[in-house]
Amino acid sequence: MTVHILDDKNSLLNKFISEIRDVNVQKDSMRFRRNIERIGEILAYEISQSLDYQNKVITTSLGTKIVPVPKNDIVLCSILRAGLPLHTGLLNYFDDAENAFISAYRKHINETEFEIKVEYFASPSLEGKTLILADPMLATGQSIVSVYEGLKNHGTPKKIILACVIGSTEAIELIKKHFPSTTELWIATVDTKLNDKGYIVPGLGDAGDLAFGEKL
Ligand code: URA
């Protein structure tokens, strides 16, 4: 698996990451959602450099120009509900992608142990396509692995790209074992710790709650 960590170099991305982590800025849920969306847009731009291109002849009012354009058939797949703002950002740039939505949640057995429940699946065929699997918080990695297992019934993608905002080193090690070695991970930033509830530390807290409000 190739891992691309985007905050390795200084860019405006770091400002957006700082704001989604900051407890004072997080109170503004619209800014939180929009910052995740902006990070999705940056991820999309970076990911676009690894796609396949074909030349297209474009006619302007004054002549013609050959322009290389991406030729991949993209399926953009997100995990409900925290994934929605990231999905919007990616879709803003990959505007002709097909879309898949899957629900996954942590069903707690006790305070610290949980299993991943995958229930709702809406996906087109993935056969021969480029699957971009988006998950804002790659904490334990168990959700994205469970979702990928479910997607295997929908055909074999030609290329798999994982798009994430914050990840843990533990999750990256787990997904390396479960995804094909040709998979690319594009991630804004990586933290080294998880707490005993499986949350990324320092992370940002619960991305779904920060974007959409607390749930029961
Ligand atoms: N989901 C989140 O929103 N945050 C974490 O830290 C882990 C899972």
SS3 call for 155: coil
pLDDT exceeds cutoff 90 at 128:
yes
Q: Give 122 Cα–ligand 1 centroid separation in angstroms.
A: 23
Per-residue pLDDT tens digits for 110-122: 888 888 898 899 9
Q: Give 57 Cα–ligand 1 centroid separation in angstroms.
A: 45
What amino acid is encoded at 123 in this protein?
S
Per-residue pLDDT tens digits for 60-108: 999 999 999 999 999 999 999 999 999 999 999 999 999 999 998 888 8
Task: Name the residue with tokens 């390795």.
Answer: 8
Q: Give 199 Cα–ligand 1 centroid separation in angstroms.
A: 5
Q: Give 50 Cα–ligand 1 centroid separation in angstroms.
A: 28
Domains of the chain: 2-212 (3.40.50.2020)
Could you tell me if 44 and 90 are in contact, meaning their C-beta atoms sit under 8 angstroms apart?
yes
Q: Whose CA is nearest to atom 5 of ligand 1?
A: 199
The model carries a pTM of 0.95
Residue from 21, 79, 204 to probe ligand 1 pocket by mutation (most atoms less than 8 Å from CB): 204
Q: What does the pLDDT average to over 147-156? A: 95
Pairwise CA distance, residues 147 & 126, whole Å: 13
Q: Please, how many CA atoms are within 13 Å of residue 211, restricted to the half-sphere of its CB?
A: 19
